Amino acid sequence: RTLNAPPACAELLAAVARDCVDLLTDPAARAALRRCGGDTCRRLYLDTSRGHRRRWCSSEICGNRERVARHRRRAAALADGR
């Protein structure tokens, strides 16, 4: 949303509330609402990706954490001879 002047707290809350109403009353937008797949992350996000296969709120943060954890599990399994 575009604001004409630096917003006061009430104006910011009003903009967030309008966006929430728009999101929750639009079935297509609501269907794209996802919970992040990060183990310790509780964020929600809108999956606007092509194919709707996005898994994390942020590829750079939660996605990277998951890739690092996967790499560590693989390296530990190799070290154990599994």
First-to-last CA distance in the chain?
Answer: 53
Instruction: Please answer whether residues 32 and 52 qualify as being in contact, where contact means their C-beta atoms are separated by less than 8 angstroms.
Output: yes
Binding of residue 67 to Zn ion (CB under 5 A)? no
Min dist CB 45 to Zn ion, Å, is 8
Binding of residue 57 to Zn ion (CB under 5 A)? yes
Instruction: Choose, by CB under 5 A, the member of 23, 32, 34, 41 that binds Zn ion.
Output: 41
Residues that bind Zn ion (CB under 5 A): 36, 38, 41, 43, 57, 62
